[in-house]
Amino acid sequence: MYTVNLNCYRLILLLVVILFNSCGNNSQTNNPPANPTAVSYGGNYGAVQNLTEDFEQAHKGSYAAGNLNFKTGIWYLADALTGSSEADYKTGKQAVRIKNNGKISMLFDVENAVTVTIKHAAYGHDGSSAWGLFAAINGSKTFIQIGKNISSSNHQLQTAVFNVQKTGKIRFEIRKLSGGKNRINIDDFTVSGTQEIENEAGTSVSTGDTIAMTKPISQHSIAKNDNDNLLCGNPSGATASINNYNNYLINQNYYTESYSRDRCGPNWVCWHLGSTDLGSTDRLNNFRADTKLPAGWYEAQNYSYKDSGFDKGHNCPSGDRTNTSDANSATFLMDNIVPQAPYNNQRTWEHLESFCRSQIQSGNEVYVIMGSYGTGGTGSKGYTTTIDEGRINVPAHIWKVVVIIPNGNQDLKRINSNATLIAIDTPNDNSINPNWQQYVCSVRDIEKSTGYNLFSNLPKAVQDSIEVTRYGGTPKAKRRLNF
């Protein structure tokens, strides 16, 4: 009798524990924490696999040893300063300048590193100097050298790549090893394979726009790829190979794109828009080059569009990423931008972007694919084919495809004939009509013009159904085209 009662007690206790855990799970939220710029949210939030320090955020005008709080965290500089003169070789407004046997050291940890890339040059007209990359792992006070010595003798920035392949908590240090009074410039220090970052006090580091967070994935989502930017497919089969330089895949986390080196801009950009993407973050307007492009590729700058007659036209718009400053900042990378006729950008496209965001307020989620093709557009100063001394292609057409479905899970299965589909193709012309519905077309029309397969992840039968419809002005109104 005692055994039976004991077993019953154990069973009741087990049921109570299960019930408690179940209630706890159902009460969980997937909203970001109060500090949206923390590097690690924990739980379902993961860090981007790249950390880039551009040495722009803080300034130090003397070679005396001291600490600087840069974007990624606190660095120690000895016989080093931040130089912004014409003799300093830099990608932005300033770079680090090191003399004698000086060094710069991270006073925070990164977790795991695959490679490190560093841009470097001999300062001004100085002679050659050697320097090296060193690392201390898992709290060790001993720094070991990574790779071989690097010689800085060129008077323009070069890129050094170090194969690190280390796990655990890592601190890096750059040491000048020779050259005496000859000085070197160091800029754009990038670690790939980064996970969590901690500063000296062990707290999360606020990183501004350098370290972006991946979008949260709900624990209760049945399909793990829900909300993925490329849920519908990779339209052009882009790859992250530098040999594929005109169809180069870049994951910016808040959006994913195919980039063309020769056109100096995106072929297409894909993103998901949901309620967690919208918040109260102000538009940052920090247009800037993407310094993570492969070495030797031209990086469009904010000033590349000056006096061109074209707007810096977002693909993934700033207004679709207002939940955190990191998210909004990511939209101002110049490889998310194309030369867009001002009225096209400020009227027609703004109206469609606002329409898409209004769908979120109505309980929907949205998948967007946007791109451009052709050469030659008409801005406020007339027709042209390129800007920035021929480096940046001006597209002839700008297009967008929008898929609207009610909030829910298993998104890929729910994109079918019941989904609301919008496809438009506009001329890049300043005389464009502000009503985007004047430019409605079918997905097949865009695929014929671009050669892309926009919904390659959908079943063929579904593609054949939704790709030949035109948006009719209401969420469910469609009419089939006859071919």
Q: Count CA atoms closer than 13 A to 263's CA, side-chain side.
A: 26
Alpha-carbon gap, residue 113 to 147, rounded angstroms: 14
Tokens 């050291």, residue? 105
**Listed residue (82, 54, 44, 110) closest to 289, CA to CA:** 54
8 A C-beta contact, residue 286 and residue 329: yes
Burial of 177 (0-12, 13-18, 19+ CB in 10 A): middle
Q: What does each C-alpha distance from 436 to 22, 273, 345 come to in angstroms? A: 47, 19, 11
Tokens 């706890």, residue? 24
Residue 314 among the catalytic residues: yes
Alpha-carbon gap, residue 122 to 156, rounded angstroms: 8
Full 3-state SS string of 64-131: CCEEEECCCCEEEEEEEEEECCCCCCCCCCCEEEEEEEEEEEECCEEEEEEEEEEEEEECCCCCCEEE
Alpha-carbon gap, residue 101 to 385, rounded angstroms: 50
Total count of residues recorded for the chain: 483
Alpha-carbon gap, residue 232 to 128, rounded angstroms: 52
8 A C-beta contact, residue 188 and residue 96: no
Q: Which one of 272, 314, 351, 397 is the catalytic residue?
A: 314
Give the angle subtended at the CA of 393 by the CAs of 389 and 399, to the nearest 5°.
155
Alpha-carbon gap, residue 175 to 132, rounded angstroms: 6
Q: Give the residue numbers annotated as catalytic, written as ranges.
A: 314
